[in-house]
Structure 1
């Protein structure tokens, strides 16, 4: 994996009240696009784009809950093991996804595969949406069949 732009931050060993305060500030209702600024060493303010505010919010919230954070650019190429670890699946399962075309990959040095981080993130999002759609369909089927209307268990045998 390209490590030049990747950065991992571990949570503080002891609770950090400043981190908690920063998390509350970033998640407040009064945080509007362009309302947060970064002040340079010479005092020049630079408004933070909404995407950066969201990233900071996620980073600070995770750190304040004791989780580590890794920030990596989307053009980062992952090995199959790194991609599988990121998805929380086994490497053979990932290989099946690559072979079926569910997740695109590039081949290097013959048999080695590399997967773009952006493709892994896109697959995660697509899988989440498909799972939610399947669950919504199951709930609708249950409602249509009157499953949720029954107050007492029905005898099935």
Structure 2
């Protein structure tokens, strides 16, 4: 078992992995320790069900947005309990998030290519802004 020693967060090199505590101390992690930390945090249990609130936090959206996603069939769900609360698979929520991010990056790259081909990346912004000053 590795013994961790805390150091001030200001002493952590940029781009280095670390775990921090609320008191400003950090625990640097090497690649193996980082892999173990991720394994402890991320569960690969495809049967793990979470609430729509937890799904909202994972996706970075509101619970109402998650409800609309569920109603439209974007993410499958089951009703659970006497009140019929909706539950979703954590694995499916994470997969949806990753797919959405990938789609967003592809769309942005397509827009960049179109702007380059159309000569839109050579705009003189100072002249453009001067027109509205």
TM above 0.5? yes
Secondary structure of the residue aligned to 2:61 is coil
2:124 maps to 1:144: no
In 1, distance between residues paired with 2:123 and 2:53? 48
CA drift at 1:81:
1.1
Q: How many residues align?
A: 108
Instruction: Please say if 1:100 is aligned against 2:72.
Output: yes
Question: Which residue pairs with 1:32 in the alignment?
Answer: none
3-state SS in 2 of match to 1:113? strand
Q: Does 1:15 align with 2:25?
A: yes
2:35 alignment partner in structure 1: 55
**1:64-83 aligned within 5 A:** 70-74=41-45, 75-83=47-55
Say if 1:142 and 1:112 are closer, same or farther in 2 by CA, change over 3 A.
same
User: After alignment, is 147-156 or 78-87 more displaced?
Assistant: 147-156
Where relative contact order (Cα < 8 A, 6+ residues apart) is larger, the structure is 1
TM-score of the superposed pair, with normalisation by structure 1: 0.56
**Aligned partner (choices 92, 102, 107) of residue 129 of structure 1:** 102
Question: Unaligned 5+ residue runs, structure 1?
Answer: 1-9, 27-35, 37-52, 60-68
Gaps of 5+ in 2: 1-18
Structure 1's 104 and 55: CA in aligned 2 closer, same or farther, altered over 3 A?
Answer: farther
CA RMSD after TM alignment: 3.0
Correspondence for 1:91: 63
